[in-house]
Structure 1
Amino acid sequence: MEDDVATKQTRPSRRAHHPLIIVGNAIFTLLLVAIVVGGGAFWVVKSSFDSPGPLPADTNVVIPNQSGVMDIAELLEQKGVISDRYIFVAGAFGERATGKLKAGEYAFAKAATPQQVLDTIVSGKVVEYDVTIPEGLTSDQIVERLNESPVLTGTVRQPPREGSLLPETYKVTRGTTREELLKRMAREQQRALKEIWDARSPNLPLKSPDELVVLASIVEKETGIASERPQVAAVFVNRLTKKMRLQSDPTIIYGIVRGKGKLDRPITKADILAPTPFNTYAIDGLPPGPIGNPGKASLEAVANPAPIKAVYFVADGSGGHVFAESLNEHNKNVAKWRQLEQKQKQDSATTPAGAAGTTGATPSTVSPSQ
């Protein structure tokens, strides 16, 4: 009897040999192994994805348009940004970011982790460059500046209309076309011009925003000192009101070179008398168009000139100008400038070669002179 009991206790259950149980046990075992292996693989990928990368220094990389996740991973590996393209791809799939990667130029920090690299590309925060256009340049000169920029692309078919662009510092991304930037500059000029024209002082002797641009372009050329612009603008506004000729030297120069460059010689008496359409010594009122592209400050100065009655100004020897209401006062100021100019020449003649000048003043022609 005892032997029968022992036999019953050690005999395997028939259910244990059931095919479904066997298959179930196998599947469970495989799942357990897969979980263990998968968990290990996930840990390896996650650990690598969050570890510092091989990049020895900050660098920029351009991601081309229509690049897939594998293309991007391969490029990043080639550039030394990441060490394993497959880890990056696995991380991108894990983050569900494969469809969010954006083309452009990106800046990656030294030793950036693959996670940081992925986040940067997904963010779309591409590198931006400053393109600075100084006030007063002609449209031809602006195009020359844009042609010198290595981050811009394309050619300019024709320089824009003179005075139609707003000089400013513009942020662009690599690959922006020069035509695109010129259109943007034109839009900014129109926006600024409308605001300034709408806020202009009453009784200006100007009939349209275009005339404001013309006069502002002259003011821009006459002084580089920001604080003087409203005063210089007032002189020209006062002269227009009194029907006096503007007599601005920069208009003589523009009439000769027509915006194609600089006049590499002093203005002569023949130049002053030459009846070009832009020579305000020879014509009444405003010239037929701008002589450059004025900045916002010059546009604002013309729209709201200083409340002074001056109709003359001349260089003061320090880079600025002195203003006068009468011709007699102006002639005295001119005489002072001539004396200072003569002293500068004498000091320059006695200064040893290579030494700095003593006054720091810059030569300037008298404008307006009558």
Structure 2
Amino acid sequence: MCSDMSRTRNTICEFPGCSRTVWQDPDGSFSSYCGMTHRDAMKQLNGAGLCKNCEARPVYIEGNRVHEFCGMRCRNAYQQGKENPHSPRASPAPTSSICKLPRCNKPAFIGPDGVPSEYCSNRHRLDAVRGGKAEACLFCWKYPKSRINGKLSDFCSKKCSEDTFDAAPLILMIPHNQASFRDVSKQFRDQWKHPTPVPTVIWKIYCDRGHTDEFARYKLAIERKTNFPGGNSKRRWHGTVRACTVGDSQGQPTLCNDVLCSLCNIIRTSFHAAKAGQRTNFGRFGAGIYTSATSSKANDYVLEPGGSGFKAMLLNDVVLGRVIKMTTGDENLTQPPTGHDSVVGEPGGDLNYDEAIGKGNEAIRPLFLVIYKP
């Protein structure tokens, strides 16, 4: 989105009739609009043409200059003679549709900002959740999750999203019938190389806003530097010490304050490379934050001194960027070699299972807390 240094998080969206505050980009700057829908709708109102490459999104406007493309990716894809399926820019503003509740043919409700709902009324939103036709918001558990740029959000509204991050750090339980529970559970079981335990409870983790923004900025910077979608981010497992029973059941969402509980400290303030490896006093590829695609490998580092009958493991979003693959350890490694952003240890040589090593705190963010029976 086009940004201006004079804008702040309290600036109001420039789309006519909208009273929302403007969107903050991952690089810390602020847009003129509350989101991509109003940005693109405004361009259409102003007569801006469509991107020369994708022919779906409005062209990018920079001051008085009207570009031919919606963004750099479409420009580069056009110059290389290929389509770009990874553009992060949103589709044009949605149009009104029919209520999604089965057997209802009423038009979907359109809010005062011109953005249509997926349902005709709040009553049908409630009925969709109660009838199992839609996934419930992880915060209020009342209304269906909203869809943003074609992707299902964790929340039903901007308010629930803001309330969550205002209360962060915290964990929210994911019901067994939701797609993200099945997805994380499958990844856990598929990547376990021994007789496989089954996750009993899965929680979504929300870090404090400061680290969330820092991670987003780093991810965007690596994406721009490498041209890898999402900065080549991958979901990786991490096992650590849990000195309490947080997460063991639905009634245990509260983080503890024990300085020896690495798990709660990671959820509260994320990872710290300076503290990594203190327990094992060994890092095959030098100091750094170690994760693995193999859940049973991460399980080797799980300790439960708090007396729980369960085990807990973290699934994280790790920005790998441009990786260097190694099969032999180097304990003196302090940074990835020049031109690389991370180190990946591959099986072979002195490694039995994979490892990914990040050297910076901003390159990793905990996503899910998985509770399982050993």
TM-score norm. by structure 2 comes to 0.24
Higher helix proportion (structure 1 or 2):
1
TM-score, with length taken from structure 1: 0.25
**Larger strand proportion of the pair:** 2
Name which one, 1 or 2, has greater alpha-carbon Rg.
1
